[in-house]
Amino acid sequence: MASPDDDTDERERLKSALWYAVGQIVDEECLRRNRNATPQFIGALTEMVWTQIENIAIDLESFANHASRPNITTEDVLLLARKNPDLQQIMSEFVEERKGIKEAKMGRNKPAAGRRR
């Protein structure tokens, strides 16, 4: 079982990684748009994204628990996107595309019926 200190350390590592990623995105956009962003802005944006991630995680866990599943599935993620029809459509298309790729791979790996090796 993880100790509270381990959880705190992990949380801080994740938050630092998020801060770095948000900073990279902000820097790219600032260069592209010829603008500047302060470290305070990047910090505030990181906190907002972190809070959003926490809320999404709670919702996804709730959807999976409601369906009596121990794991979160793509169905839970699609359900989360239901309030944004455009996002839901993009995500649904992506999921269907991935399913098609997976099925195609599985079809190629099956030996042909009636043939013996």
Model confidence pLDDT, tens digit, residues 48-68: 999 999 999 999 999 999 999
pLDDT tier, 106 (very low <50, low <70, confident <90, very high otherwise): confident
Return the residue matching tokens 């926490």.
54
| CA gap 54, 61 in Å, rounded | 11
| CA gap 15, 17 in Å, rounded | 5
The per-residue pLDDT for 49 is 98
The domain in which residue 80 lies consists of: 73-105
Do 25 and 62 have their domain in common? yes
Do 64 and 43 have their domain in common? yes
* List of residues 6+ apart from 55 with CB closer than 8 A: none
Domain annotation covers residue 56: yes
Do 79 and 60 have their domain in common? no
Do 28 and 59 have their domain in common? yes
Supply the DSSP string of 11-51, one letter for each residue: HHHHHHHHHHHHHHHHHHHHHHHT----HHHHHHHHHHHHH
Domain annotation covers residue 117: no
Region of 85 please: left (phi>0), alpha (psi -120 to 50) or beta.
alpha
Share of the chain above pLDDT 90, in %: 80
Domain annotation covers residue 116: no
As for how many domains the chain has, the answer is 2
Do 92 and 61 have their domain in common? no
Do 29 and 65 have their domain in common? yes
Can you give the pTM of this predicted structure?
Answer: 0.74
